[in-house]
Amino acid sequence: DAGVIQSPRHEVTEMGQEVTLRCKPISGHDYLFWYRQTMMRGLELLIYFNNNVPIDDSGMPEDRFSAKMPNASFSTLKIQPSEPRDSAVYFCASSHTGAGGNIQYFGAGTRLSVL
Amino acid sequence: AQSVSQHNHHVILSEAASLELGCNYSYGGTVNLFWYVQYPGQHLQLLLKYFSGDPLVKGIKGFEAEFIKSKFSFNLRKPSVQWSDTAEYFCAVERQLTFGSGTQLTVLP
């Protein structure tokens, strides 16, 4: 398996623009997580899904952020409108239930810069 | 709510020195514990995990961690660090991983 795939790897945009980050989890995994990493706040869980259903979105900073998982192999994190303080590295991770589960496998991340 | 504390924000060691990074968590029930490592410019990777059984767990690259339930601790150790161990290390708890703030380790050649 190719692992968790995120795109784009880097995104530079201007304040006010819409940004969409994409994630393809590992096939067969039933959990998907979105994290944000900044120097100031470290690694923060934004939202996670189980079987494509959002379970906990309490980490989503505000209404400008939204996440969807239309099927088991794809998820998006959207920021509209984007602001400079949204600049961070966004990681997607997936895991599966069962023996040997609970281990999260991370994607390479999307480095977002909002000017 | 569960929380994870990593007391050392930045540790600087010389090669061959011994390493111990502290991790304490606050959660009264059964816990699954993890250490993840993030090498410069890379994503997080699992270093080792504890689910149950022997409280001394061994991970990749010579790392080990000991779960001490009475102290709510899961400290990471390595007898002799290498320059290539320079990275950020995160302790985490449970499925919906609650991460500590991370410890940046710099190993001087």
pLDDT average, residue stretch A6-28: 95
State whether residue A98 sits within 8 Å of chain B by CB: no
- Say which residue, A45 or A67, is predicted with more confidence: A67
For residue A38, the one-letter residue type is T
State whether residue B35 sits within 8 Å of chain A by CB: no
Q: Which of chain B's residues have a Cβ under 8 Å away from the Cβ of A93?
A: 44
Q: Tell me the pLDDT band of A104, cut-offs 50, 70 and 90.
A: confident
Q: How far is A62 from chain B (nearest CA, A)?
A: 20
Q: What is the pLDDT of residue B97?
A: 67
Three-state secondary structure call for residue A38: strand
Query: pLDDT tens across A30-41, in order?
Result: 999 999 998 888
Phi, psi angles (nearest 5°) of residue B70 = -65, -25
Report the residue from B42, B97, B102 with minimal CB separation from A104.
B97
Separation of alpha carbons B38 and B91, rounded Å: 11
Report the residue from A42, A45, A106 with minimal CB separation from B96.
A45
Report the residue from B32, B43, B94 with minimal CB separation from A108.
B43
**With contact defined as beta carbons under 8 Å apart, do A33 and B99 qualify?**
no
Inter-chain touch B97–A56, beta carbons under 8 Å: no
Q: What is the pLDDT of residue A98?
A: 65
Q: Tell me the pLDDT band of B67, cut-offs 50, 70 and 90.
A: very high
Check whether A110 has a pLDDT greater than 90.
yes
**CB neighbours (10 Å) of residue B79?**
11
Q: What is the pLDDT of residue A85?
A: 94
Query: pLDDT tens across A76-86, in order?
Result: 999 999 999 99
Query: pLDDT tens across B70-101, in order?
Result: 899 999 999 999 999 999 999 988 755 678 88
